Amino acid sequence: MSKGTFEHNTQPSVIRELFEYAKKRKQEIGNENVFDFTIGNPNVPTPKEVNEALIELIKNTNPIKLHGYTANSGDPKVKEAVAIHISKTFNTHIDPELVYITSGASPAIVFTIHSLVSCSTDEVIVFAPYFPEYGHYVHYKGGKLVAVKPGNNFIPDFNDFKHKINENTKLVIINSPNNPSGVFYDEEVILKITDILKEKEKEYGHPIYILSDEPYRDLLFANKKYPFITNYYNDSLVAYSYSKSLSLAGERIGYLLVNPKAHDSKGLYTKLIKIGHNLGYVSTSSLFQYLLPKVMDLKVDIDFYKENRDILYKNLTEIGFDVFYPEGAFYMFMKVPNGNSKEFVEKAKKYEIVVVPSDPFGVSGYVRIAYCVDRETIVNSKEAFEKLYRGE
């Protein structure tokens, strides 16, 4: 393949289609009669301190500065605030000169893929089940997406991982807590992944980068330490987003950072910024950049999601469904009784339950239930799930 050959993704997203279907059904029969679990749109309000800080910024900042361009990689003070915050929180060293303030995690992932995938033999490894956009981004750049099978409880099958790494592997993407399963990779899992990769880097004699995609890092319900990747593996990058942790999904704010210990960290960082520039990306909202240093320590009330998880998990397991117990994010992965997720999704619609099949996430036989919904939707859906289970 030449560099100019792209695979355009013209397929409509199954998730979006189901989301649109649920929206239409709500217009037809009323919101309260549709149990829409399709999409990961946060439904816990942004902390009031965020809005207060925004108002204060608008009132007290010179409007020319407030609404003007910032440097492409972000305002230097904001980059510094991110570096200090991360270094302190995870007892690591982050260089502000290696922080790129981005419009959420999505562009951070795209820039990373574009800088590390350069020809059709280049491979990117993901762990199934995985966020479907990874595939679209890698294919668009002309690379190959390689999925590792899940082992027990959606922890990666490490043997399969070892076998799937080869001299063409350029990047491994991890995502914990995970969309769609809600699985959390604790330190033991991170150590297994990084030990394997360190061996393989030695064997092939070139860096194999890890991108840790962390939009759900602060939506961790388990009282466990988050193993920050820069403390375990040198050739690493982190994509973070305030979309979920501060319910700012529509505002588009997050960052990409390169581990200062990464191979040619400065060269890689410069390449990331150039790629952003070449893709027509000119920094992100200055207003939300200036907001960041004031709100970085805050997060939404994650107890709301945790309670939704607990009620939904109890309801579904009492009915008889086989459900994976998620430790973070706001998704539940449920096994489909006869193994055919597409058929199950169609059947569920008859009970006005809208869930998404697991196939776009790289595994079959499950559905994803996004439980970032009203409490009433969780509680009132029990009867419909019961009928669906019994096939009434």
In the complex, the residues that contact ligand PLP under the rule CB under 6 A are 40, 104-106, 131, 175, 179, 213, 215, 241, 243, 249, 254
User: Please, are residues 160 and 149 in contact by the beta-carbon 8 Å criterion?
Assistant: yes
Which one, 209 or 321, has the nearer CB to ligand PLP?
A: 209
Give min distance, CB of 99 to ligand PLP, in A.
Answer: 16
Sign of CA pseudo-dihedral 385, 127, 236, 249: negative
Please give the C-alpha separations between residue 7 and each of 109, 144, 145, 313, 317, in angstroms, as whole numbers. Answer: 18, 11, 12, 39, 41
For residue 110, the minimal CB distance to ligand PLP (Å) is: 10
Shortest reach from residue 78's CB to ligand PLP, in Å: 16
Residue 143 vs 200, nearer CB to ligand PLP: 143
User: Which of residues 103 and 115 has its CB atom nearest to ligand PLP in the complex?
Assistant: 103
What residue type is assigned to position 59 of the chain?
K
End-to-end CA distance of the chain: 53
Instruction: Specify the DSSP class assigned to residue 328.
Output: B
Cα separation of 115 and 4, whole Å? 15
Q: Least distance in Å: CB of 142 to ligand PLP?
A: 21
Smallest distance from the beta carbon of 175 to ligand PLP, in angstroms? 5
Nearer to ligand PLP, 215 or 227 (CB): 215
Q: Pick between residue 129 and residue 227 the one whose CB is nearest to ligand PLP.
A: 129
Q: Which is nearer to ligand PLP, 43 or 175 (CB)?
A: 175
- Kindly tell me which of 133 and 386 has the beta carbon lying closer to ligand PLP: 133
What is the closest distance, in whole angstroms, from the C-beta atom of residue 385 to ligand PLP in the complex? 24
Strands, E assignment, the chain: 35-36, 99-102, 123-127, 144-148, 169-174, 209-213, 236-241, 254-258, 331-335, 353-354, 356-357, 366-370
**Closest CB 103 distance from ligand PLP, rounded Å:** 7
Chain position carrying tokens 């595939």: 135
Distance CA 154, CA 177 (A): 11
Helix (H) or strand (E) holding 83: helix 76-89
Torsion over CA: 377, 380, 385, 391 (sign): negative
What stretch of H or E contains 275?
A: helix 265-278
